[in-house]
């Protein structure tokens, strides 16, 4: 890294699952960091985290925290980003925000580097780049190369989302419920509205007036924005499943142009960020247990849908804490410093 510019970074929400993953990925990918500051709530302030062999102290988030910072990687609650992202920008810090707060604002780019990297330059509008929803990210990475070749008309997606998407408390709840059930003891549901152990809950985020959940509508609206095509029709059913890490998706697509499973398989094998695992006869297909702590979006079960014209089914799996959040944010930061800063 000798001779290359280094940058002052901060991580907001550093003690959360995604925040910790961001710090780890910055080190793994040898991001050119001059200095790194870690911010969290007053409750977490004072905790110690390691970065490149150095012990860093987590600081409380304050109004003037961003002086001298080049890039802020935000992963707190949306209400925190709403207040502090503009403060960071006013102090000269470019914000890459993992929350839902700015995603659908028209002058804030919503970026997946494998799909729409050219939008990163739009950060100049507000000083903010939004990181999409985890379930949306892995889907569009798989869909983009297919859309470029065959033009996708409609997407029907059902998700099987791990509890880590709801935070550490959700992971603890699954672990606690499994233990309680094996010991034939009762328990209370604190994070989820129903038992999550050995169960599936078709309810992620709040229900809206149209009876879809907010999570489902995020996938609809974010996909159109990232793919830059409002004509794509998307419908989603999002389900929480008793898996600790890794989101899975069953995706059915219809295209304008005729296509075969072999053509899709060949396209995806060369697609950035995608790894094809597709040998049904050998019982090889993506599963969350194999995708944990991996950067790629894994695609398998590629097959033609003979109930519609130009239909294809895909099974897509990815580590939601990495590609679905932390890694995507760091990849944006890498392109930001390479092309714009």
Interacting residues of 327 by C-beta distance below 8 A, sequence separation 6+: 21, 25, 295
**Where do we find the tokens 């929480």?**
240
**Where do we find the tokens 């597709």?**
278
238 a catalytic residue: no
Interacting residues of 156 by C-beta distance below 8 A, sequence separation 6+: 235, 236, 251, 252, 253
Three-state DSSP class for residue 181: helix
Choosing from 10, 134, 238, 291, the catalytic residue is: 134
Return the ∠ at Cα 204 (arms to 230 and 212), rounded to 5°: 50
**Number of other residues whose CB lies within 10 A of the CB of residue 109:** 25
247 a catalytic residue: yes
User: Do the beta carbons of residue 236 and residue 222 sit within 8 Å?
Assistant: no
Beta strands in the chain, from DSSP E residues, in sequence order? 7-12, 33-40, 48-51, 54-57, 59-60, 71-74, 94-97, 128-130, 152-161, 233-240, 247-255, 274-276, 297-305, 311-318
User: What is the C-alpha to C-alpha distance for residues 129 and 333, in angstroms, rounded to an integer?
Assistant: 9
Choosing from 93, 147, 238, 247, the catalytic residue is: 247
Catalytic residues: 134, 247
């Amino acid at each position: 890294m000798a001779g290359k510019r280094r940058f002052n970074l901060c991580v907001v929400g550093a003690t959360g699952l995604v925040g910790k993953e961001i710090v780890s990925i910055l080190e793994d990918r040898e991001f050119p960091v001059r200095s790194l500051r870690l911010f969290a709530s007053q409750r977490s302030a004072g905790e110690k985290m390691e970065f490149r062999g150095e012990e860093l102290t987590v600081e409380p988030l304050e109004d003037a925290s961003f002086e001298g910072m080049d890039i802020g990687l935000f992963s707190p609650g949306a209400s925190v980003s709403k207040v502090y992202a503009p403060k960071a920008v006013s102090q000269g810090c470019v914000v890459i925000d993992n929350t839902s707060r700015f995603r659908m604002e028209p002058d804030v780019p919503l970026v997946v580097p494998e799909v729409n990297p050219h939008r990163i330059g739009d950060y100049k509008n507000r000083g903010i780049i939004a990181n999409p929803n985890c379930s949306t990210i892995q889907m569009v990475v798989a869909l983009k190369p297919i859309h470029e070749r065959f033009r996708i008309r409609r997407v029907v997606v059902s998700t099987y989302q791990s509890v880590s998407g709801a935070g550490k408390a959700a992971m603890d709840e699954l672990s606690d419920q499994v233990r309680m059930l094996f010991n034939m003891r009762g328990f209370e549901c604190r994070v989820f509205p129903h038992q999550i152990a050995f169960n599936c809950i078709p309810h992620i985020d709040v229900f809206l007036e149209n009876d879809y959940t907010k999570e489902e509508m995020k996938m609809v609206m974010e996909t159109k924005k990232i793919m830059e095509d409002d004509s794509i029709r998307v419908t989603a059913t999002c389900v929480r499943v008793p898996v600790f890490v890794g989101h899975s998706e069953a995706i059915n697509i219809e295209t304008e142009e005729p296509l075969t499973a072999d053509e899709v398989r060949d396209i995806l094998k060369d697609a950035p960020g995608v790894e094809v695992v597709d040998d049904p006869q050998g019982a090889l297909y993506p599963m969350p247990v194999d995708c944990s702590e991996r950067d790629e979006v894994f695609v398998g079960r590629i097959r033609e849908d003979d109930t519609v014209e130009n239909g294809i089914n895909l099974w897509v799996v990815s580590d939601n804490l990495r590609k679905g959040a932390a890694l995507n944010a760091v990849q944006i930061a890498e392109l930001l410093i390479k092309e714009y800063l």
